[in-house]
Structure 1
Amino acid sequence: MRRVYAVLAGLMLFAVVAQFYFAAVGAFDKPQEDGSYALHGMTGMIIPVISLLATVAAAVARAPGRLIGLTVLPLGLVVVQVLIIAVGGLLDDSAGNTSPGSLAILGLHAINGLAVMAVSGMVFRQARLFSKGVAAAPGETARVR
């Protein structure tokens, strides 16, 4: 089960990297259309599912509690991504155009995306160590069991 956990953690990191790629594809699509960010949106729905599956695998494999908590964190951060978009949209002007306030909020979407990337990278690193029998809580020195 440790190996399954490591594979799922790797898939989660891959999905996050793909998410950034698809965001860039949407940003550079000309002309901008409703479907410009379709792949970005679909990948955004996959990341929480993989995070949840990896969390279950980590628990079944008896990973340290902190590592299990870290593994579910991308799911929570994706929820924050959705909230950022919703709050930013509420601050649009009456014509539906972005306002300085909505842009300030919407810019947090990229910063939170970097947090998703960082956490996913840490989870993958720790899952690989755990699958090899090396136990380390995030921020601690690894030790061989």
Structure 2
Amino acid sequence: MMMRRIYVAIVGLLLASGALQFYFAAIGAFSRPQTDDSFALHVMNGRIFALLALVATLAAALARAPGRLIGLTALTLGLTIVQTLIVVLGNVIGGSTEQQTTGVSLAIIGLHALNGLAILGVASRVLMRARAHATIAPAATAEPAR
């Protein structure tokens, strides 16, 4: 039961970190003048989010969560990796530079925000299911044969 509670707590932190990502992105977007450090909080918290997603996945397994819940928890990490790929692809394929963006790069990088919303949706679903899992009594262990 203790591991299940720990799992719920970690997923709660994961969801809070995800919500903070939007706040930190807004700070970066509206900072004036724009500098290389404008999105530093967003980038740093993104790394924390990825670490929390990994730890949450391990905690789900240790809490003996159902396979689908473990997979759903792992999906937060997978979508977080996609977040980085979206930015990289937007810059490489779209041909943007530090000084200039293109329509193609903006169209691709715009998916970063949509994927972030998807991550929050998945994380909130994981939290709901993790809380439900924490309230279910663990299966009784089989008694040794006599």
Which range, TM-score by smaller chain?
0.7 to 0.9
1:126 equivalenced with 2:139 (yes/no): no
C-alpha deviation, 1:130, in angstroms? 1.0
Rg larger for: 2
C-alpha deviation, 1:83, in angstroms? 0.6
1:28 equivalenced with 2:24 (yes/no): no
Equivalent residue number for residue 18 of structure 1:
20
1:40 equivalenced with 2:42 (yes/no): yes
Moved more, 97-106 or 84-93: 84-93
Query: In structure 2, do the counterparts of structure 1 residues 41 and 134 end up closer, same or farther at CA, with 3 Å as the change threshold?
Result: farther
Equivalent residue number for residue 104 of structure 1:
107
Task: Flag structure 2 segments of 5+ consecutive residues without an equivalent.
Answer: 139-146
Structure 1 contact 5–54 (Cα < 8 Å) conserved: yes
Could you tell me the TM-score, scaled by structure 2's length?
0.87
Structure 2: distance between partners of 1:67 and 1:45? 23
Task: Flag structure 1 segments of 5+ consecutive residues without an equivalent.
Answer: 136-145
Query: In structure 2, do the counterparts of structure 1 residues 94 and 54 end up closer, same or farther at CA, with 3 Å as the change threshold?
Result: closer
Report 1:74-89 matches (<5 A).
74-89=76-91
C-alpha deviation, 1:96, in angstroms? 5.0
1:8 partner amino acid: I
Structure 2 residue matching 1:35: 3-state secondary structure: coil
C-alpha deviation, 1:30, in angstroms? 0.9
Structure 1: distance between partners of 2:98 and 2:67? 48
Could you tell me the TM-score, scaled by structure 1's length?
0.88
2:89 partner amino acid: V
Output the aligned Cα RMSD.
Answer: 1.7
Give the 4+ runs in structure 1 shifted more than 3 A. Answer: 93-96
Identity of aligned residues (%): 51
C-alpha deviation, 1:92, in angstroms? 2.4
Structure 2 contact 8–131 (Cα < 8 Å) conserved: yes
Structure 2 contact 14–52 (Cα < 8 Å) conserved: yes
Structure 1 contact 23–40 (Cα < 8 Å) conserved: yes
